[in-house]
Structure 1
Amino acid sequence: MKNSVLIIDDDKELCELLTQYLQLQGFSVESTHDGAQALRQLQRKQYDVLVLDIMLPGMHGLDVLRELRESNNTPVLMLTARGEDTDRIVGLELGADDYLPKPCNPRELAARLRAILRRANNAAGQGSKPTEVTAGDTTLNSGSRTAVYRDRALSLTSAEFNLLKLLVERAGQVVDKETLSQEALGRPLTAYDRSIDVHVSKIRRKLSAAGAGELILNVRGLGYQFALDE
């Protein structure tokens, strides 16, 4: 079965170009050019992954993402203006899975979508093989995709779960950002890419809200380390 993609972008020519390319790559593609319309469409139909332009007229793309995440966990890849780091960071904090700057290369877009879908499919496939990993008071279950610190649940996105699981599995070791990007996000780390840092920052805040101390350490120039509770 083909993976379904909804492109939300007001640039109709770009939508046509991306639709043609992605269809050749085996995706089923639809597009809409208005954020509010996209939200209504998502209430009627489920897609495997969304491509969301941040700079939409009327309802801003970040507002679409914020409202979407209140009830919908469909993976989202953002399209952002080149150089707009703030939009990328805010988008990741709101629950986007990945981003690409515009104008984007259709081949790179297809590769990123496949990485997102592999992550989602792997998560779904683990449902019949529940395994737990624990470090100190932090436990993650790969079957149910749940995480807890002591008795408090951590509400994590797919990317955050993958990152925390990888760090917990290697507690006490420094894991470099390239490894985190490859194994948790499913793609190579690129220059000036702050996705890992933003996801880790969100995980830290969620652990802190659950009563944890500073468990994820930044080892300057090397990567991140999950420390056991003192």
Structure 2
Amino acid sequence: MTQILMIEDDLELAEILTEYLEQFDIKITTAHDPYIGISTLDTGKFDLLILDLTLPGIDGLDVCKEIRKKHTIPIIISSARHDITDKVTALENGADDYLPKPYNPRELEARIKSHLRRHTLSHTPQESVCDLILDEYQMSITHKGVPLHLTAAEYGILSYLMKKEGGVVSREELIYNCEAINEETTNKSIDVIIGRIRQKLGENPKSPKHIHAVRGVGYKFLK
């Protein structure tokens, strides 16, 4: 279940949102006092924070700034303050989104899911293979710290081989598992694409470092 902390002093709104989001397997923990909210976030495990700006004792913009110093959690500002200065300051202080009140709870639910997807992807560990680094979120591969300029087909094949590191991959497997490659692509075309990738890696096809041909089958990637 998704765990969300809400720092909100409007008890009626907090109750409405809590009941609505429960149906989407989202549990809301509400802190009506900002200082208690900060303490709760420090001691608990939450996936996202919903933060009001007009709070007792301390402005929500300052709360946002303090929280961002210690946490990478996505922050959605939920506020009746529509001034553009507040919106800009909130984003500069580390907020990920600003949702002006009043709003439909359905929109909040959609934004929560969107930010959770982005947060999960951005914190997915990169796969490192020797001097090559594969970043699936950015759909990029760097070679010795330099980004490779790959076509969609080249990226698809090289990333697939890297993830299958050490295993033999047939040409047919590459054709059916790389989205950028048409299913009508021939085995010869795969060889041509492999040749282009080797050139970009600076490999000698007669004595390659990473991409090795397996006679009669396909290719395998080695560190």
**Shorter-normalised TM-score: what interval?**
0.5 to 0.7
Distance 1:54-1:103 versus aligned 2 partners, 3 A rule: same
1:105-158 deviation per Cα after TM superposition (whole angstroms, max 9, x unaligned): 10000000000000011123353475369xxxxxxx959xxxxxxxxxxxxxxx
Deviation (angstroms), 1:84: 1.8
Q: How does 1:206-221 map to 2 (within 5 A)?
A: none
Distance 1:46-1:57 versus aligned 2 partners, 3 A rule: same
| Structure 2 residue runs without a partner (length 5+) | 140-149, 151-223
* 1:68 has 2:71 as partner: no
Q: Tell me the SS of whatever aligns to 2:5.
A: strand
Q: How does 1:1-230 map to 2 (within 5 A)?
A: 2-128=1-127, 130-131=133-134
CA RMSD of aligned residues (A): 2.5
Confirm or deny: 8 A CA contact 1:126 1:142 kept in the other structure.
no
User: 1-side partners of 2:93 and 2:4: how far apart?
Assistant: 20
Confirm or deny: 8 A CA contact 2:4 2:28 kept in the other structure.
yes
Q: Tell me the SS of whatever aligns to 2:126.
A: helix
User: 1-side partners of 2:54 and 2:127: how far apart?
Assistant: 40
Residue type at the aligned position of 2:28 = V
User: 2-side partners of 1:116 and 1:38: how far apart?
Assistant: 20
Distance 1:86-1:122 versus aligned 2 partners, 3 A rule: same
Partner in structure 1 of residue 178 of structure 2: none
Deviation (angstroms), 1:82: 4.8
Q: Tell me the SS of whatever aligns to 2:79.
A: strand
Confirm or deny: 8 A CA contact 2:126 2:134 kept in the other structure.
no
TM-score, normalized by length of structure 1?
0.55
Residue type at the aligned position of 1:42 = L
Number of residue-to-residue matches in the alignment:
137
Q: Tell me the SS of whatever aligns to 2:106.
A: helix
User: 2-side partners of 1:111 and 1:98: how far apart?
Assistant: 12
User: 1-side partners of 2:96 and 2:84: how far apart?
Assistant: 15
Higher RCO, 1 or 2 (CA under 8 Å, sep at least 6)? Answer: 1
Q: Tell me the SS of whatever aligns to 1:47.
A: coil
TM-score, normalized by length of structure 2?
0.57
User: 2-side partners of 1:71 and 1:83: how far apart?
Assistant: 27
